[in-house]
Structure 1
Amino acid sequence: MAALISLTSPVFSISGKFEEMTLKSGLIADGEGELVGWMRHVDASRSMNQENTRDLVATLAPLQNKPDIQSYVMLGIPKHEEAPATPQHPLSPMGDVCHRMDLTTINQILVTTNELSFQEWTQQMKDTLDARKRGDLAFRDKDFRTAIYCYSQFIDVGTMISPTVYGRRSLCYLMCEQPDAALRDAIQAQCVLPDWSTAFYMQAVALAKMDMHKDAADMLNEVAAIEDKKHKGGGTGRWHFFYFI
């Protein structure tokens, strides 16, 4: 049922005015006498307790013959709407239509705007994968500084996320005596794949390199528990270890 106007509205203050408005609006189909009787009672007493309010709502409900239209529309009561705030800075064409909530124009802009063509996207993907391949070759050849550079190119593009790259770059940082950077990459690898054992192992090594031996031991105990749980569940942890490394 469409929302009925408040009993405190000026419309209810004079029963005769209410009769005129409701008859014009089509709010009432049948039972006008009963409803008007209620309104005269409200007009006379100027107060209603909770029980009377519920009774009135129960009376009004079956009389609403246009449930798809809000009552304030049927009765011609203007709805207050807050005007959009004025932007503090000049807007671009896209910003202007967004400010006006012009969805049709937004659709037209998005159709005609080609921020990144398919060819550019595929070339970007190719360059990213090439950087990964160069990093893997350098990693295999123990050229760890080159591997760091290539893996960083892969990561910085941001189109793909690989726990393997973070894990391998973590080891590269360790080999280059940068345990703090190695720890960050190992933690990032864990964020990408929370149950990947290698991420925990790399964190343990980095912590030990930073003379945080208790934390390193705790990390090894934690990963041992995780691997034991996976082993009992079918050995998926070992598969993750070999798959990503």
Structure 2
Amino acid sequence: MGAGFSLCFRPSNTIANLNDSSELENISKESYSLPEFSLKQLKAATEGFLPENIISDDGEKAPNVVYRGMLEDGRWIAVKRFQYSAWPESVQFLAEARAVGQLRNKRLANLIGYCCEGNNRLLVAEFMPNQTLSKHLFHRESYPMKGAMRLRVALHLAQALVYCSSKGQPLYYDLNASKVLFDQNGNPRLSCFGLMKSSKDGKSYSSNLAYPPEYTRTGRVIPESLVYSFGTLLLDLLSGRHTHPSHAVDLICDKSFLMLMESCFVDHFSKDDGTELLRLASQCLQFDPCKRPNPKSLVNALAPLQKETEQVPSFVLMDIPHRNVAPKHLSPLGEACSRLDLTAIHKQLEMAGYKADVESEADKEPSFDMWTDPMREALHSRKQGDAAFRAKDFCSAIGCYTKFINIGSLESRTVFVRRCLCYLMTDRAEEALKDSMNALGLHHVWPTAFYLQAAALKFLGMDNDAQEILKEGASLEAMKIKNAPSV
């Protein structure tokens, strides 16, 4: 989503837009300080670590799982929660988190923060909205992943490993298909969570995933162990099935490429490309770690296989909706914001009134006997602003709503979105964008605020971000309708 343009409610040590790959390449080790989140922030973002928000699919049990969450500023995040026994020493946890946090690359789902409060150990990363390689490769009921996309996954993953190694992070723990994520554009990225061990006793691999032979002998991993795991992933990409490490070597011995692949996938690869992938997998799965290729040589071998599909966007190859595609099933307000039809937006906000402000008991106006002079003054200003809003006297409405907000006795998300529209009507889009974010600050899952934010972004010419925000609003609205009590 367009979180990189969020103007309010970020952690105190704000950084560059982490979804912008060009910005990522320009952040130096010396200039970046990994933000710290409070436990309260992360609880709010994940709705108290609600089980329904668990998004990891690698077989881990709570609390060693990953949660989807949304910060107050509307940014989606992924939160990895560790057991205290994994990191009993806070100093060690902080040191490793900050080391991993220095890695900033478009091939990674980058770390954007941490929490080390009491016995709590949590990592916060960019949220990747298009699930994992495991989901797309093993659990997709229709439209099997195209061969060109499988080749791209292999290349991008190898490039991620080269980058990590070049930055002094040559180890990755438990590399498997669930650690490869897809961003909003459908591009594959390597999860940053696997760059940190998840237990103090050195057990770095799950019992049923990609452990190399030397790990079974010594219980330790070396940089070459990562290449072995990469080899099993290549077999996964070739066959469309999960390859158990203990069967990997047997699977490639004396078997041709066509015998290995599922019949429905044969047409996705040329024989030459498939044979080359099989050859690389065989090299990666050598018993002797010294005989395995290094990540850089894997990149050199995989890059020529991209061929004519190199310029085709990943979201096309993945058959997934892109953020530039208009979201379906928008409400009338969402439709008006997508068209930037300010007159229609005004009509919809008028019809909605202040219903959103009284959805919960906490948002209701105080009873008469609780009123104070500032409260009465604030409500009078709001009443004047509403009259000007109805009369389409938007400059006067701005003045009255601003007075209501500045008095500070009462809070109203509706006033913020109404003033947001008034700013758009008077060609003050930046102020409008701030007001939409202020409304989200009062209620961070309110579809109306997302829609108004999209309108402001569209007014500023940021169409890609606007489309993404519209999708968020539509998704939240659909969820709200789904969860509404039946009558």
Calculate the TM-score normalised by the size of structure 1.
0.46
Which structure would you say has the larger RCO, counting Cα contacts within 8 Å and 6 or more residues apart? 2
**Greater strand proportion:** 2
**Greater helix proportion:** 1
Calculate the TM-score normalised by the size of structure 2.
0.23
